[in-house]
Each structure stands twice: as structure tokens, then as C-alpha cells.
Amino acid sequence: MMTHGFRIDQDKCRGCLSCMRACPTHAIRVRDGKARYIPEKCIDCGSCLKSCPYGAITATTWSFQDMDKFKFKVAVPSPVLFGQFPAGVTPAHIVQGLLSVGFDAVWDYGVELFLASRAVLHYVENWKGPFPLISVSCPVVVRLVQVSYPRMIDQLIRLQIPREIAGREIKRRYAKELGLRPDEIAAVYITPCQAKTISILHPAEGVESHLNGALGISEVYNPILASANQQRNGLPPPAEIPNIVRNSTFLGWSVREGLGRSLARHNSLHVTGLANIIQVFDDIEKGKLQNVEFLEAHSCWSGCTGGNLTVANVYVTLSKLRSLVGDLPEMDAETLAEVNSRYPLEDFSLEAPVLPRPIKGQSGDLREKVRLLQEAEAVLKTLPGYNCGLCGAPTCKEMAKDISAGEASKADCVFFSKDRLSELYKRFLLNDR
């Protein structure tokens, strides 16, 4: 099964090359005037989606209707959600709002954050393999390693991430409390980005998700806001203060660089933005980061607060979260007791390690692959090297590989074929009407 999560509407696509140029892993080609994916190279970062001027690209989604087949529905909101709303809308309003849109319970994964931090600390301290270890919390980073840096795959930390631990605990606890089967219970992540939805619906090769689906923050924002406004206009305030505000760790998670903090004694690095991450990974490969033990990387330049399904301005969100955290303690007695009682009983390791993604043309006869490589190198020498992209491949180097693999021909290059140039011009005239 192919695991990437985007589709290109062939009617809307005008073959403008924007997505092809935006793609960090060269996973898009424009052939016959239409963009298409090389699915195994896609890392679900969403750069293409953002870049398309014609709205031709859509992502795998999940909706409220998908929830209906479950008997008991639990929302698992990302901490980012709580920083999205205007002043006056409190965490209690937001929790109430989630209940009003159809959830039966709201689960904050504050305890799971502590559990995961402890497990990671233990993992890092006992690791005998090569450093740095890489956090698996951002699914784009996981896929980038699978696709472009497969020899670093053992450095992905083989532990469950907090939202997944929460999913598992939700099933266990409610099944017991309500006498339901685990598959009658939905654990639904309220997500700041598309990539996490995709990672739940189509987990990375080798891995499974304990969550059933995800709704974007942008999808639940309006109904929650409406409910919050009703609550504020007269309805009695929610009786219960949600657990979320017992300590500052959950709400402060995105503000404080996540796991890196609990690893302060270890040399850790927090990198954001895909271009920066690629640079750091290249440096790791060159042996330039020998002393770093732990790497937390987030594909969005502003971390999860800037995910593509968020609503509010990043800085406003951060400031709101900071003010919510205020002077709450980092840990409280109740949470600590729960963490202490659960930690020894649960297994936090991934059921199976993440596997490198098999890339087409990279299996099979070695002799043949060496021949293709040498042919591509020979072809590259004859290409102009301007990387104009008009052939439909993002660089001359990629084009050379495509030609040697028989997927494109030299006649697609405008420097070799005048017909190609006039064809492109005709298409431009047509599109311009």
C-alpha cells in the first residue's frame, strides 16, 4: 500500500511547475502538462499543497462522519489547540466545546508527555549505537529519514510518542470502564497539521497507529468558538476544571521545544524548518555533529504551532500559550502519582521499528542499477545544467536519471527540441484564456 497522502486534481492542474519546484524530495514530475507524484518519494510535508496557485492539490482527510461508526469518541487535542482562541476563551471552554461537537470525552496527554519523556531519557542513556538519536514526533521527519537518509533509520527513536501512548490508554481505560470493545472506541487526534493525519491513517512502513483518525484544528475551530461564546453568554460555567491546567507541561509543550528540555543533560538540538533539517541531516552524514545526542526536528519552521491546519497567527498562539501556562508548576502531585504508577506497567517501545521505504528501481539486479547510474551520469554531462525545469523534472540531474530509467526522453528538454518549446508556449496560450 502506498502511504503518501496527497492527490492532484488533473482538471485543475495547469502544469505550472510550482509544486515540482517546491518539493524538497523531488517527488513531483510534470508530464504532458500535468503534475504527478512519484509516491514513494513523497514525505507528506505539504509544500506542494501550499505552493499550488490553482488549488489542485488536496490531502487525505478524515471527517466528523468517519467518527459515527464508533460508540464512544474521545478527542485527543494537540496542545496547540488551546493557544488558538481569542482572549477570554479558557481551556475549560475549549474542552466543553469539543464535547458539544460530538465527542464523549476529551483526553489531555499531559501524563503521556511525562511518560514519553522518561522513556526517551532512559533510551538515550542506554543507547549503544550511533548518535544523534532522532525524535519521531514529527511524521515528516520520520519520512524524510525513510526516503532520503535510510542509513540513519536506526537513529529514529523506537518509542511511542505521547499522542500514541494516549490512544492506547484511551482504548484500554474506556473499554474497561464502559464494557466496550476497543474497536468501538475512537481516539481522534485534533491536529495542527496534515502530516499527522496522514501518519495516523497511513503510518510509516512498519508501524501502526493507536489513534483512529484526526480532525484539523481548522475544522473544529468554528464550532468550538461558537460553543465558547454561548458558554460565556449566560450559560453556567463548566463545573469541572479540566486536568489540562494541573501543570504547565502540556500547554507549554510547544513553547518549550518539546522533549529537548527533559534531555538538558544530554547534548540536544532543536531544529525547525524542512530546509534547515535537511542541512543538519547532511551535516550528520558528513560527521559534523558528532557530539549531539538527541535531535528534535520539526518540519514547520515555527514548530507545531505553525502547522498547516492551524488558524491563529503563530506568535499570537505562542503568547497565548505562554500566558495560559503562567505560573503553573511544571509538575503537580496528582500527575506525578499517575506517571509513577503507569511508567513501570507500560511498554513504550514501538511494536516494530520504522523501515526504510522501498524506492522503485532500487531493488533488483545490482549490475543493472550500476549501468543506470553510469548512464544517468553520462546523460547529465550532455544536459545544459540550468535546472530550468521546463522538461518537467526539477533539476537536470533528476532528468538525467529519468532519461536513463526510460521515463523521459531528451526531446523533453527545450535545449534539444524546439517542438518542446512551442508545445509549452501553446499550452501557455491555452491556459491564459
Selected range binding another protein among 77-85, 90-98, 300-308, 368-376, rule: CB under 8 A: 368-376
Which CB, 246 or 401, lies closer to another protein?
401
| Residues 421/415, Cβ–Cβ less than 8 Å | no
- Residue from the set 22, 105, 153, 424 that interacts with another protein by CB under 8 A: 153
Binding mask 240-279 for another protein (x = CB under 8 A): ----------------------------------------
- Coil, strand or helix: which one is 26? coil
Pick from 7, 122, 151, 426 the residue near another protein by CB under 8 A.
151
- Which residues neighbour 64 within 8 Å (Cβ) at sequence distance 6 or greater? 101, 102, 215, 219
Nine cell digits for residue 181:
470493545
Q: How far is the CB of 287 from another protein (least distance, A)?
A: 5
- Of 30, 38, 25, nearest to 10 by C-alpha is 30
DSSP state of 159: B
Within residues 89-148, the interface with another protein by CB under 8 A covers 130
- Where does this chain touch another protein (CB under 8 A) — which range of 120-128, 287-295, 326-334, 344-352? 287-295
User: Cβ of residue 186: shortest distance to another protein, in angstroms?
Assistant: 36
CB of 376 to another protein, least distance (A): 8
Query: Binding segment for another protein among 22-30, 44-52, 58-66, 357-365 (CB under 8 A)?
Result: 357-365
Does 364 participate in binding another protein (rule CB under 8 A)? yes
Report the C-alpha dihedral over residues 426, 430, 431, 432, rounded to 10 degrees.
100
| Secondary structure letter of residue 263 according to DSSP | G
> Do the Cβ atoms of 111 and 332 come closer than 8 Å?
no
Query: Residue 74: which H helix or E strand, with range?
Result: strand 72-77
Residue 223 sits in the site that holds another protein (CB under 8 A): no
Nearer to another protein among residue 198 and residue 284 (C-beta): 284
Grid cell digits, residue 375 = 548512464
- Residue of 323, 369, 388, 405 that binds another protein (CB under 8 A): 369
- In the complex, the smallest distance separating the C-beta of residue 367 from another protein, rounded to whole angstroms, is 6
User: Does position 374 bind another protein by CB under 8 A?
Assistant: yes
Cα–Cα distance, 102 to 70 (Å, whole number): 11
Alpha-carbon dihedral angle through residues 238, 325, 77, 218, given to the nearest 10 degrees: 90
User: What DSSP character marks residue 376?
Assistant: H
Using rule CB under 8 A, residue 381 touches another protein: no
Among the listed ranges 43-51, 109-117, 360-368, 424-432, the one in contact with another protein (CB under 8 A) is 360-368
Q: Which of 234, 291, 344, 432 binds another protein (CB under 8 A)?
A: 291
The least distance separating another protein from the CB of residue 207, rounded to whole angstroms, comes to: 17
Asked if 353 is part of the footprint of another protein (rule: CB under 8 A), the reply reads no
CB 321, CB 251: distance < 8 Å? yes
**Given the complex with another protein, which of 13 and 350 has the nearer CB atom?**
350
Pairing mode, if any, of strands 133-134 and 268-272?
A: unpaired
Which residue number, 374 or 422, has a Cβ lying nearer to another protein? 374
Is 362 or 431 the residue whose CB approaches another protein more closely? Answer: 362
Please compute Rg for the chain using Cα positions: 24
* Binding footprint of another protein, residue count (CB under 8 A): 24
Distance CA 177, CA 196 (A): 29
Distance, CA of 170 to chain centre: 22
* Least Å from the CB of residue 357 to another protein: 11
Of the residues 33, 182, 356, 389, which one makes contact with another protein according to CB under 8 A: 356
Listed ranges 20-28, 57-65, 354-362, 383-391: which one lies at the site for another protein (CB under 8 A) = 354-362
Report the residue number, 181 or 367, with the smaller CB distance to another protein.
Answer: 367
Grid coordinates given for 55: 488549488
Of the two residues 340 and 374, which places its CB atom closer to another protein in the complex? 374
H helices present in 149-273, as ranges: 162-178, 194-201, 217-232, 249-252
From 162, 170, 158, 244, select the one nearest 212 (Cα to Cα).
170
Nearest to 343 by CA among 121, 163, 115, 120: 115
Please give the backbone phi and psi of residue 324, each rounded to the nearest 5 degrees, phi first: -65, -40
Query: Can residue 53 be called a binding residue for another protein (CB under 8 A)?
Result: no
* Binding stretches for another protein (CB under 8 A): 130, 150-151, 153-154, 282, 285-288, 290-291, 356, 359, 361-364, 366-367, 369-370, 373-374
